[in-house]
Structure 1
Amino acid sequence: MAYVSGISTYVPPWGEVGRRVPGGDEDAVTMAVEAGRAALEAAGTGAVERVVLVSRDLPLLEGGNSAALLAGLGLPPDTDVVERLGGAPAALDAILTARPRTLVTAADLDPAGAGAVVVSSNGPVLRPVGRVTRSLPVQARSANGVVHRYDDPRLLRERGLLASLDRLREHDNGLEGRPTAIAGAPFAQVRALCDGEPPKLPVLGASATVFALAALAERKEPATLAAAEQASLTAAVLDTSAGEPAHIHRLEPAARAVPAAHTTPGLDMPVSLAAYDRAFESKVGWKAARCESCGTLALPRRYRCRGCGTEGEWSLVPLPRRAVVYTTTTVHVPVPSLTTPYSLAVVQLDGTDVRVLARTTAAEPGSVSIGDTGRMTLRRVAVRSGVPDYGYAFWPDDVPEGHEEEVR
């Protein structure tokens, strides 16, 4: 049983209604951070002492993604992190078994979306109903990344989803009647299997569980959620009458066509892990060096303070995430291994004299102007030698908001 105090959802602005695609600067970690930070806005970073990331699209299977995830979320590096490979049932299991002060995040790339849930000691109650774990590997991914599909949707429906629902109903104190919502299955199938009109979800993977919870929590009435992946299924009952209402935050901009772009062939820039390590805490954690003598901020850290000229001690402090565009330009010249055109902006961070050069994101190249306001958000700025290189990009405020329609 878990108490859900906060829920957030995120979809990229690119794609079409019903199927979003990640931007060229997004992956599972950046999307999990986008949803996770929104969930933490209400709960506060001090309300979390453990983070769970659920996805089938983890960028690093060796070396781990925990450091970038914690830095992007603004959490201490000693926070316990669990990276869990799985889909919708794995995400629901992670929420149900989480102890209070846990942030459960989930992210998917196809269709793209992410969600986060804060589990605390108060809020709507999520109670487990049952679990069925069966093997029906209609889609498999080998060690070299090749995906094999057993193309038989009828088999997946009959021997997968329907058979698992029947088995769950046969359990003692198991599922009774039809669920209110099913995460992880196509809407056309879900609609015929649910009690009433189920919510339309933009994703089919791990984050589908969070999108479904957000929709059910907004209805403010008891509901049963089933989370499915192939032949495995987990079910739970959400009781919104218990405790304080959950804080729900949706970052779901309206779908727009992916901007036309061209990638110029060329050699990739190799990674320097020494430089990567030196810059990581400031660049991914979004922290500036502060002179202990006069308080002047520098990003990146300087050898000599430009405020007082001393070469003394520095400390890292978090930077504001709100910014205004000081100047901007759009690059059209072909650059080997990069996608053009792209826009760069020098932005001034609110309440400081710090200016940062960053790429723009979630907006068409050339659409950002001087004076535009926005926020700094974690993005994958490059992949070098197979290593995701994370940094911050400027997301303008005028990105239109909207609501997702069904995934067919």
Structure 2
Amino acid sequence: MDETETSFGLLATTRYVPRLRLERIDMLAQHRWMAPGLKSLARGRRAVANWDEDSVTMAVEVGRLLQQALPASAAVELTLVSTTLPFAERLNAGIVASALGIDSGATLRDATSSARAALTELSATLRRPEDGAPRMLLAAERRVARPASAQEMIFGDGAAGALVGTGDAIATWVASASTHADLVDHFRQTGEEHEYAWEERWVRDEGYMKIAVATIRQCLKDGGVAAADVARFAMPAPMARINDAVAKKVGIAATALVSAEHENVGDLGSAQPLAMLDIALRAARPGELVLVAAFGSGCDALLLRRTAVPCPGPVPDAGRPETSYMKYLSFTQQIELAWGMRAEMDNKTALTAAWRDHALASRFEGGRCSACGTVQFPRSRLCVNPQCRAQDTQEPTSLADVPARVMSHTTDFLGYTPDPPFQFGHIDFEGGGRVLMEFTDTDVGELSVGLPLRMVYRVKEFDRKRGFRRYFWKATPTRAESAGATTEIK
């Protein structure tokens, strides 16, 4: 396919992994006394979300990456997939859409309850071209596993996404198949924090080797494709070497298996199928067939053909090693630490005020004076430029995607934050605008005057009395990510 040719299909895929990577050997060190069997899982690192990250904020990061590949028209549909949505009764996709600036007329939905839900949604979207308008699919997960469990070692936090529509497609649909089967390999009852997993050998033999194999075969049959013709095969499987066994039984070459990046990230739950699809497509050559499957309450299989269009956007970097298991327990609220009186505050949110300042908080919307061009945050009736002082000339302008630099910074070891020290300071935006901001994902000693920054959407604070959380934008150092990294093939 010529790179300038347009067609309906997959326009972009991407993934986001939090900066912190907890060393599994340090997790084992805390559990070896009672669970020495975890040693077999204690290789590499797993991604850990910062205290101010959840499935909503990570989905926003993925959505922002996908928006770099959006055509001129905005997405008309956004689906957020997660089994760890922060709100049971509030449209979580609505929070994401607001942060991304998606039009209020777009169709939004939350999807949950299954590890394969994202692939189900992607397959369904690819099968209905309709008007060809871009549709965004985001999946994010921050699962909390019981301490000393195998899941604690296996899980990872992160997000992935896909953009479907008409344009310069990186892959086109060939076939798909879906099977429903209420085989319970693991479950988590409503209101419970930790999941319960069933015996692995039974899940492998009755689930993957029968249900997944049959679904994959049906997909290949529908596409008129031989298993040996599949160049890249991606199938999330928390059990060791189960994807090898499935591939062998189906007839897919061992060289086609795509790495799940387990040793540096971990299993991303409902986001894992899209994350592995992103890895596979970046490694695939033009014309190659890519097969991705996802198991959970049945199985979905999706067969795509790679085009000659390059995959847009960067891939996650290696992150920063984290050795403190206690920090992880604190971030996931599995241990209550004595933070002192400074942490004793009532963070009740006035929902009426939150709605009035909706644009300010969700899109980091300030104002630009139409008379003199001065940018200010927050927007007001009066221009702050003393040489102008014009009234009612402020035009809305978002600072969320505007590069900035550190003007001043303070490192406070007395003020409360779930990840001490509290770092904040004034930042200057390119093109104008100066704001006092909180910094996140920042090491002590890393900040300096002039340091390049970008804005990230994060949890501002929790109202634990009422079960609410507020979101706002924070500043973080701009770190180079590899835009052309190669994919490891297992």
TM range (shorter): 0.7 to 0.9
Which ranges in structure 1 are unaligned for 5 or more consecutive residues? Answer: none
The SS at the match of 2:473 is strand
**Superposition TM-score, scaled by structure 1 size:** 0.88
Q: Which residue is 1:4 aligned to?
A: 10
Query: What code does the residue aligned with 1:264 have?
Result: W
2:142 to 102, 109, 134: 109
The SS at the match of 1:132 is strand
Deviates more, 1:378-387 or 1:183-192: 183-192
* Cα 1:191–1:359 shift into 2, 3 Å: farther
Shift, 1:115, TM fit? 1.0
Q: Which residue is 2:349 aligned to?
A: 271
* Cα 1:345–1:176 shift into 2, 3 Å: farther
Task: Count the aligned residue pairs.
Answer: 402
Q: Which residue is 1:396 aligned to?
A: 477
1:225 to 292, 303, 307: 292
Query: What code does the residue aligned with 1:167 have?
Result: A
Task: Tell me whether 1:142 sits opposite 2:142 in the alignment.
Answer: no
Query: What code does the residue aligned with 2:159 have?
Result: A
Task: Tell me whether 1:378 sits opposite 2:405 in the alignment.
Answer: no
Q: Deviations over 1:95-126 (max 9, x none)?
A: 12224310111111141111111111242113
Query: What code does the residue aligned with 2:18 have?
Result: P
1:130 to 164, 177, 199: 177
Shift, 1:223, TM fit? 2.2
Q: Which residue is 1:193 aligned to?
A: 246
Shift, 1:91, TM fit? 0.9
Deviates more, 1:361-370 or 1:288-297: 288-297
Q: Which residue is 2:402 aligned to?
A: 321
Q: Is the 8 A contact 1:263 1:340 kept in 2?
A: no
Q: Is the 8 A contact 1:14 1:258 kept in 2?
A: no
Deviates more, 1:372-381 or 1:294-303: 294-303
* Cα distance between partner residues in 2 of 1:277 and 1:349: 26
Shift, 1:142, TM fit? 2.5
**Superposition TM-score, scaled by structure 2 size:** 0.74
Alignment of 1:318-357 (within 5 A): 318-319=398-399, 320-335=401-416, 338-352=418-432, 354-357=433-436
Shift, 1:156, TM fit? 1.9
Q: Is the 8 A contact 2:459 2:471 kept in 1?
A: yes
* Cα 1:376–1:148 shift into 2, 3 Å: closer
Q: Is the 8 A contact 2:74 2:102 kept in 1?
A: no
Shift, 1:155, TM fit? 2.0
Q: Which residue is 1:75 aligned to?
A: 102
* Cα 1:362–1:334 shift into 2, 3 Å: closer
Shift, 1:77, TM fit? 2.3
Q: Which residue is 1:14 aligned to?
A: 20
* Cα 1:322–1:361 shift into 2, 3 Å: same
Query: What code does the residue aligned with 2:234 have?
Result: A
* Cα 1:298–1:37 shift into 2, 3 Å: same
Alignment of 1:56-95 (within 5 A): 56-95=83-122
Task: Tell me whether 1:51 sits opposite 2:78 in the alignment.
Answer: yes
Query: What code does the residue aligned with 2:314 have?
Result: H
The SS at the match of 1:71 is helix
Alignment of 1:141-180 (within 5 A): 141-168=188-215, 171=218, 173=221, 177=227, 180=233
* Cα distance between partner residues in 1 of 2:73 and 2:268: 31
* Cα 1:163–1:263 shift into 2, 3 Å: farther
* Cα distance between partner residues in 1 of 2:461 and 2:71: 30
* Cα distance between partner residues in 1 of 2:311 and 2:482: 22
The SS at the match of 1:356 is strand
* Cα 1:196–1:80 shift into 2, 3 Å: same
More strand by share: 1
More helix by share: 2
Q: Which residue is 1:236 aligned to?
A: 302
* Cα distance between partner residues in 2 of 1:347 and 1:170: 56
* Cα distance between partner residues in 1 of 2:480 and 2:52: 17
Which ranges in structure 2 are unaligned for 5 or more consecutive residues? Answer: 1-6, 23-43, 144-155, 248-252, 331-336
Shift, 1:338, TM fit? 4.4
